[in-house]
Amino acid sequence: MKLWGHYKISWLLAVTCLLVLCGMGAVAQTQAAPAPAATAAAPPPMATDAPLDLKPAAAPSTDDLVKGDPAGTKTGTANDVVVSDTKKGMTLADLINQVGQNRIGINFTWTLITGFLVMFMQAGFAIVETGLCRAKNANHTMMMNFMVYGFGLFAFWVCGFAIQMGGGAPYATLGGASSLNAEHVVTFMGKTWGVFGTHGFFLSGISYDVGVMVLFLFQMVFMDTALTIVTGSCAERWKYVAFAISSVFMGAITYPLFANWAWGGGWLSQLGANFGLGHGYADFAGSGVVHAVGGVTALALSLIIGPRIGKFTREGKPNAIPGHDIVIVLTGCFILAFGWFGFNPGSTLAASGNGALRISSVAVNTMLAGCTGSFGAVLYMWIRYGKPDASMSGNGLLAGLVAITAPSGFVSAVSSAIIGLIAGVLVCVSVEFVDRVLKVDDPVGAISVHGANGLWGVLSVGLFADGTSNYGGSWNGVSGSVRGLFYGDASQLVAQLVGICTLVGGIFTLSYVSGWIMDLIIGQRSSAADELEGLDIPEMGALCYPEFVLKPEGLRVPAEVAAD
């Protein structure tokens, strides 16, 4: 064991070197990009309705094309610009329309595909959570995760989406989505503040619009991510019907409210424009909106439901209850890391124009923070307990990803690595804190992964945002780029802290009270007998693994681990 001491020293050295180096890197970023030169006053307009002479474009003829084009040099030419009047021929106006159509086509493609990736994260959450539970509850845990997609989507379609996004139009990168233009506002201190949106219920009427649909899809999969966090912390003892109603409530009300305030033109996003607090609450892809909302709701419901039987000894000492399948836990983490490439980079809602090429930087930041998150957790566990730990490695990766979600669009690669590394350690410490101090039972660590690190992510925007981003030249209606404390804007940090207080004060309270009322009316927790048997037969009517022989519970944990 003495050697661990030396080991620590070498680590300290290495980490110090790293930090020094990072610091040097941060300092070395001295040269800001020059502002684009201003253009002069305009001459009389140029006609755009004359047909264009296409001969110099030398597009291939039909006879030529029919011979096949293996190189791809005869395909995709002047022939492929859509012409409004084929008799007249292509005009400059056609060309301009096609350029606009191409831009929106790129943005749709990007936002939809990244949205699909986020939807796939549901599979990741499902198997991570199930793998971390016991086999006797595996069907139940899978089915919560499976139906959260259906229940949540339904509620969000009925009213959640309208509440969240119904007042934020126009969404320029998606061609407008212009019908989402009715935000309910209140006036306070002489300013109007958005509270919730009111267009887009059922996606019907004027919200039957291609731009609105892109936005719905992308926002819906984010909402579902928040919901699925709660199923993890309440697993192995949550009554299925209570879960179902909670999910509908959260998808219809809790999540959309906060999301409106942050992203739908609501009051948190107006803190900059109305109060001069930086650029208002800035949460690029939802460390706060998605993960911390999920995490604090998970905490509230875990408190109401109470710990699993056997989790704590009579003296309050926590027992480790290991998951039943590490393969699916880590496979799920990979799926989540894959889906996160949709989550963060897709949050630009654009890949052409508007400074949207920064998607690459967002993607790399995401990757790096996930990496240093798992790195940090592995090192923490290795140093503290003598062995790297699979569950905590996975949670470290997720913690890094959660933490970078809010700042991913505003920070550098080095900052991302630091944010992730801190997240990886934070999640380990937080899991111990929840277990030993709060004495809350969280089977999968969701409160620590999503709650603690979601808040850390929100905070880190106010520290590390470096002012290099440009998303159409402004953010939340405040021109210029988001900067944190380390780059000279302390007021941004204040805006972030207001967001954090709202999350912890408002969302926690709303979740706790609604959960408590539901507990009174229908009861949140399954019976002790069901819990001891495993919820699969009593709640779902079928075992997850009916053919496999399982060990009796007492024999599962190897002696050396049990003694830990």
Which residue's CB is nearer to its own copies, number 344 or number 430?
Answer: 344
80 lies in the binding site for its own copies (CB under 8 A) = yes
We find the least distance from the C-beta atom of residue 153 to its own copies, in angstroms, to be 4
95 lies in the binding site for its own copies (CB under 8 A) = yes
* Size, binding site for its own copies by CB under 8 A: 219
Is the bond preceding residue 170 a cis peptide, omega within 30 degrees? yes
563 lies in the binding site for its own copies (CB under 8 A) = no
The one-letter amino acid code at 426 reads L
401 lies in the binding site for its own copies (CB under 8 A) = no
456 lies in the binding site for its own copies (CB under 8 A) = no
We find the least distance from the C-beta atom of residue 412 to its own copies, in angstroms, to be 6
Applying CB under 8 A, among 397, 404, 440, 493 the residue interacting with its own copies is 397
436's CB contacts (< 8 A; 6+ apart) are 318
438 lies in the binding site for its own copies (CB under 8 A) = no
Which residue matches tokens 């890197």? 25
393 lies in the binding site for its own copies (CB under 8 A) = yes
Q: What is the DSSP letter of 357?
A: G
Task: Report the 10 Å Cβ neighbour count for 2.
Answer: 6
Burial 153-187 (b: 16+ CB within 10 A, else e): bebbbebbbbbbbbbbbebebbbbbebbbbbebee
Applying CB under 8 A, among 250, 257, 289, 371 the residue interacting with its own copies is 371
Note every long-range contact of 502-509, with CB atoms under 8 Å and residues 24 or more positions apart, other chains counting.
502/258, 502/261, 502/268, 503/258, 503/288, 503/292, 503/293, 503/296, 503/455, 503/458, 504/296, 504/455, 506/258, 507/254, 507/258, 507/292, 507/293, 507/296, 507/297, 508/296, 508/297, 508/299, 508/300
We find the least distance from the C-beta atom of residue 552 to its own copies, in angstroms, to be 10
For the segment 301-330, give every residue that binds its own copies (CB under 8 A): 322, 324-328, 330
φ, ψ of residue 69 in degrees (nearest 5): -135, 80
282 lies in the binding site for its own copies (CB under 8 A) = no
68's CB contacts (< 8 A; 6+ apart) are none
We find the least distance from the C-beta atom of residue 504 to its own copies, in angstroms, to be 31
- Contact segment (CB under 8 A) with its own copies among 44-52, 283-291, 493-501, 511-519 equals 44-52
Which residue's CB is nearer to its own copies, number 12 or number 513?
Answer: 12
Mode of pairing for the β-strands spanning 474-475 and 478-479: antiparallel
Structure tokens at 47: 């006609």
554 lies in the binding site for its own copies (CB under 8 A) = no
Of the candidates 438, 551, 525, the one whose C-alpha atom is nearest the C-alpha of residue 134 is 551
The one-letter amino acid code at 45 reads P
We find the least distance from the C-beta atom of residue 303 to its own copies, in angstroms, to be 26
We find the least distance from the C-beta atom of residue 375 to its own copies, in angstroms, to be 5
Q: Please give the C-alpha separations between residue 385 and each of 4, 169, 374, 382, in angstroms, as whole numbers.
A: 11, 52, 16, 6
DSSP one-letter string for 194-262: EEEE-S-GGG-GGG--HHHHHHHHHHHHHHHHHHHHHHHHTTTTB-HHHHHHHHHHIIIIIHHHHHHHH
Which residue's CB is nearer to its own copies, number 36 or number 190?
Answer: 36
We find the least distance from the C-beta atom of residue 26 to its own copies, in angstroms, to be 8
Structure tokens at 209: 């619009």
Q: Which residues pair with 196 in a beta bridge?
A: 184
What binding mask, one character per residue, do residues 193-232 give for its own copies by CB under 8 A, x or -?
Answer: ---------xxxxxxxxxxxxx-xx--x------------
For the segment 146-175, give every residue that binds its own copies (CB under 8 A): 146-147, 149-151, 153-154, 157, 174-175
We find the least distance from the C-beta atom of residue 205 to its own copies, in angstroms, to be 5
φ, ψ of residue 475 in degrees (nearest 5): -140, 130
Applying CB under 8 A, among 314, 547, 554, 563 the residue interacting with its own copies is 547
Which residue's CB is nearer to its own copies, number 234 or number 503?
Answer: 234
Applying CB under 8 A, among 28, 437, 520, 529 the residue interacting with its own copies is 28
Task: Report the 10 Å Cβ neighbour count for 43.
Answer: 6
Of the candidates 461, 456, 455, 460, the one whose C-alpha atom is nearest the C-alpha of residue 502 is 455
- Contact segment (CB under 8 A) with its own copies among 225-233, 410-418, 451-459, 505-513 equals 410-418
For the segment 505-544, give every residue that binds its own copies (CB under 8 A): 537, 539-544
- Contact segment (CB under 8 A) with its own copies among 188-196, 293-301, 518-526, 546-554 equals 546-554
- Contact segment (CB under 8 A) with its own copies among 297-305, 341-349, 441-449, 503-511 equals 341-349
We find the least distance from the C-beta atom of residue 344 to its own copies, in angstroms, to be 11
We find the least distance from the C-beta atom of residue 500 to its own copies, in angstroms, to be 27
Rg (CA), the chain: 26
469 lies in the binding site for its own copies (CB under 8 A) = yes
Q: How far apart are CA 531 and CA 237, in angstroms?
A: 6
We find the least distance from the C-beta atom of residue 468 to its own copies, in angstroms, to be 4
Which residue's CB is nearer to its own copies, number 225 or number 502?
Answer: 225
Residues 207 and 200: beta-carbon distance below 8 Å: yes
- Contact segment (CB under 8 A) with its own copies among 29-37, 227-235, 281-289, 446-454 equals 29-37
Applying CB under 8 A, among 394, 451, 454, 515 the residue interacting with its own copies is 394
